[in-house]
Amino acid sequence: MNGYQRVMKALRFEPADRVAVVPELIQHNLDVAGVPHSVFSSDPAAMSRVILAGLKAYETDAVYVSSDNYLIVEAMGGVVKLPFDDPPVLLHTAADTIEDAVRLEPLDVGKGRIRVILEATRMLRGELKDEIFVKTCIDSAPYSAAAALLGPQEFMINLFDEPELCHELLEICLESVVRYGLAAAEAGAHGLAFGDSAAVLISRDMYTEFALPYASRAIRTLKEKTGLPVFYHVCGNSRHILDLMVATGADCIEIDSLVPMALAKETAGGKCAVEGNVSTIEAFYEGTPEDVRREAFSIIDLFGRNGGLILSSACEIPRHSKKENVRALTDAALQYPYPRG
């Protein structure tokens, strides 16, 4: 069984030879390949080369095509700086006021560094065929895209002061996310992923009004138009919206280590797969291979080999994590003593 098949088995709740392993590897792969961030973030051939270096080192079941969370805002008018070997920095949002923001045109996928993600996706799919799952990040869900376009604090203020204008901006962001997803599908992605971590900062009621409807519509539209699975990522403690994350219709929700995996599995209730959630700091960055394996075994204990789980990190693995710790995640899947529990 190959990596693509394992990921699809997990999403379909079907038995596999072992759990699918898909850690969130972005910056860490730069150290594996010896490529500076500025080159990785701006050159699709370099991005593809870096991602393949990580695949070779860790033998994961999927590759994750992503650079940073400023691609949509940059393409829509924001100003982004690329330090030589640090992550991109947003110097200026795409709009100063909500009135300016609602005059923005929806995303043109030909602008900015989105072409880097799309071309790297095309290269990786050409290289990996249907052997390894190509998971392309299309940046942000509509709520988080709107927060980035205007600035998170300014957008949150306007949720109270100008809710109707915020809904107008969210419609623009919805169209932008869908355009990005359709382009990624055309480029060859096996699955589409976006994050909505700005939405964890608002109340459940606010999430229900301003985040859930737009994430749900984006996911439904992308699934209908592409036939691809969609992954929905929320960093931090998302317990207050966990059931609503499931209600988005995502094929897989990605869970931070602040949320118990047993709770995530119970809440998902077979409606979607769950990805996560070995701790990025305590296990990968500060810990040992044994710490990673121990957390991984505990997670696999909950699910077994019958689908519904993608074993991953809780969020992006820190760049300078020990390579033996990252490798331990794949080893845990290989060493897990089925049947167990």
Whichever domain contains 268, its CATH number is 3.20.20.210
Domain presence at residue 184: yes
Torsion (CA) 131, 25, 251, 253 in degrees, nearest 10: 160
CB 333 within 8 A of CB 21: yes
* Tens digits of residue pLDDT in 284-335: 999 999 999 999 999 999 998 788 999 999 999 999 999 999 999 999 999 9
Domain presence at residue 56: yes
For the chain, give the secondary structure using H, E and C: CCHHHHHHHHHHCCCCCCCEECCCCCCHHHHHHCCCHHHHCCCHHHHHHHHHHHHHHHCCCEEEECCCCCHHHHHCCCEEECCCCCCCEEEECCCCCHHHHCCCCCCCCCCCCHHHHHHHHHHHHHHHCCCCEEEEEEEECHHHHHHHHHCHHHHHHHHHHCHHHHHHHHHHHHHHHHHHHHHHHHHCCCEEEEECHHHHHCCHHHHHHHHHHHHHHHHHHHHHHHCCCEEEEECCCCHHHHHHHHHCCCCEEEECCCCCHHHHHHHHCCCCEEEEEECHHHHHHCCCHHHHHHHHHHHHHHHCCCCCEEEEECCCCCCCCCHHHHHHHHHHHHHCCCCCC
User: Looking at residues 173-198, what average pLDDT do you find?
Assistant: 98
Please name the residues in contact with 327: beta carbons below 8 A apart, sequence gap of 6 or more.
57, 58, 289
Domain presence at residue 292: yes
Q: What is the residue whose two structure tokens read 């539209």?
A: 221
User: Looking at residues 209-215, what average pLDDT do you find?
Assistant: 98
Domain presence at residue 341: no
Residue 114 corresponds to which amino acid? Answer: I
Q: Residue 340 pLDDT > 70, yes or no?
A: no
Domain presence at residue 32: yes
pLDDT band at 338 (very low <50, low <70, confident <90, very high): low
C-alpha distances in angstroms, 114 versus 70, 71, 147, 242, 269? Answer: 10, 6, 19, 30, 35
The reported pLDDT for the residue numbered 141 is 98
Domain residue limits at 182: 3-335
* Tens digits of residue pLDDT in 219-266: 999 999 999 999 999 999 999 999 999 999 999 999 999 999 999 999
Domain presence at residue 340: no
The reported pLDDT for the residue numbered 341 is 40
The reported pLDDT for the residue numbered 297 is 96
Please name the residues in contact with 40: beta carbons below 8 A apart, sequence gap of 6 or more.
30, 46, 47, 50, 67
Domain presence at residue 158: yes
CA distance 228 to 284: 30
Number of domains in the chain: 1
* Tens digits of residue pLDDT in 246-257: 999 999 999 999
User: Looking at residues 132-143, what average pLDDT do you find?
Assistant: 98
User: Looking at residues 203-210, what average pLDDT do you find?
Assistant: 98
